[in-house]
Structure 1
Amino acid sequence: MLTRVAAVSSALVLAAVWTMAFTTTPATAQPTPSPPDPVQQTQPLADPTVPVPPPGAAVPSGAPAVLKTPDGWELTVQAKDETQEAVAPLTTAVSSREYLVSGTFTGSVAGDGSTELTGASLEAGYRIGCGIIGGPVELRATGGAETVLNPFLEGLSVTGEMKINLRPGTVTVLPVGQKKFTAGEGRISVSGLRIKVDSCVGQSFLQSYATLTSSTADTDDVVTYVGEIKAV
């Protein structure tokens, strides 16, 4: 009997020791460290003296042109809201240049002149400069015959020599509007106008202009505004 009790007691002691050996105290959860603060990026302040370029096809207008006449009148011509965009020409010819333009041009005559004004007029338009002009193309066949064709014919297949005659570039002036007025201010507004020049094989340049003319019985005073030159 004593032996059985001792055996039971030994079993209970071993069970207690086994339980103590494999019972662990749960570890205290460590707090998750918070991510470091992001580095504050300091944005440099914009320089107010540097002009901000206009978006898209918009181009900056030039400074107003002002003329003070000897008889006391002040002529001012200027532009605003100008856009100039090179577009694919309707002819699809590689020697054609076409542009989509918009803008508002104003001219005014002010002051207390010593003469009587008889009228004023405002003209606005564009100048297109072309670096190289393409001349006629000469095709010389193997047999020696020579044929002169229009410039830049596409899809032409010949056997022999081809000679392209290039000429120095030119400037084409394209007036787009004229307005006569007697006093105060005249205005010309252009929107979505397509202008083009042909036979241009070099780089092209586009520039707007507006010319104001003031007249009296004996004098004419002329002042011209010119916009920024855009290379295409």
Structure 2
Amino acid sequence: MNRFAVLAAACIAGPLAAVAPFAAAEPPPPPIDPAAAVPPPDNGIVASNPPAVVTTPDGWTLTVAATNESELPIAPLTTAASSREYLVGGTFTGTVTGGGSTTLSGGTLEAGYQIGCGIELGQVRLIGQAGVNVGVGFGAQGSGIGIGSVQVPLSGTIEIHPKPGTVSTVTVSKKSFKAAPVRVTIKDTHVKVDGCVGQSFLRSYATLTSSTTDTDDVVAYYGTTKSV
């Protein structure tokens, strides 16, 4: 009877084992490339925004654009933690086209950069007190009293008053022209702002002004904002 019971149990377990799916081992994860985890160094290249275009009431079309822009943050020469310095470049162009009803007399193309500072360093002062300590010494008999040392102790704390952030405009070039198109090219130019203790932001700008005898028409381009 025991042998029949064992045989019956084996017959029942056999089909169940045959039906159970085969658990395949999962493939190991691919190795992590250490170079892929490190972001590439900043080469300073930034994408330019689309050109700014305006049609004047007298029928002229003003266009100002930028290409080949670069903005690379670098260490300031002063090595001050509150200074921000950038190495910038780009080509800025302005055109005046169309068949306006007035006579053009020229204009200007101004190009530069705007630096925004999250927190500006304000007043810094020392709050404390200063005193004078005089050391008195007694000499040999009959030689009198002499002053041994003079010390000026200084104690207190430094108080800093940060101010809300500001935007500084740095004009690199302003070109006057008699007839468009007009161009300003900037290459490896340093721009710097001091007194910035927070995060800083940088963007290019270019302003085209077209003049006639009685009018001025202005269109401005602003580049991509880069944060550091």
TM over 0.5: yes
Whichever residue aligns with residue 45 of structure 2, its letter is A
* Counterparts of 2:185 and 2:155, CA distance in 1: 52
* Counterparts of 2:166 and 2:108, CA distance in 1: 27
Aligned length: 165
Aligned residue number for residue 201 of structure 2: 205
Aligned residue number for residue 212 of structure 2: 216
Does residue 57 of structure 1 match 2:53?
Answer: no
- CA deviation profile, 1:42-73 (whole Å, cap 9, x unmatched): xxxxxxxxxxxxx8210000110001011110
How far has the Cα of 1:181 moved from its partner?
Answer: 1.2
* Counterparts of 2:181 and 2:187, CA distance in 1: 20
Aligned residue number for residue 5 of structure 2: none
| Preserved CA contact (<8 Å) 2:106 2:180 | no
Aligned residue number for residue 115 of structure 1: 102
Does residue 170 of structure 1 match 2:162?
Answer: no
Q: Secondary structure at the match of 1:93?
A: coil
Aligned residue number for residue 79 of structure 2: 92
Aligned residue number for residue 196 of structure 1: 192
* Counterparts of 2:181 and 2:56, CA distance in 1: 17
Given candidates 60, 74, 87, the residue that maps to 1:73 is 60
Does residue 134 of structure 1 match 2:121?
Answer: yes
Whichever residue aligns with residue 177 of structure 1, its letter is S
* Counterparts of 2:180 and 2:174, CA distance in 1: 16
- What is the TM-score with the length of structure 1 in the denominator? 0.69
Percentage of pairs with the same residue: 57
Whichever residue aligns with residue 139 of structure 1, its letter is L
- CA deviation profile, 1:54-100 (whole Å, cap 9, x unmatched): x8210000110001011110000000000000000000000000000
Aligned residue number for residue 181 of structure 2: 185
How far has the Cα of 1:120 moved from its partner?
Answer: 1.6
Higher strand share: 2
- CA deviation profile, 1:173-232 (whole Å, cap 9, x unmatched): 000001111223000000000000000001000010000000111111000000000001
- CA deviation profile, 1:80-127 (whole Å, cap 9, x unmatched): 000000000000000000000000000011111110001121000000
- CA deviation profile, 1:119-156 (whole Å, cap 9, x unmatched): 12100000000011111221122459xxxxxxxxxxxx
RMSD across aligned positions (CA): 1.4
Runs of 4+ in 1 over 6 A off after TM superposition: none
Ranges in structure 2 where 5+ consecutive residues have no aligned partner: 1-41, 132-153
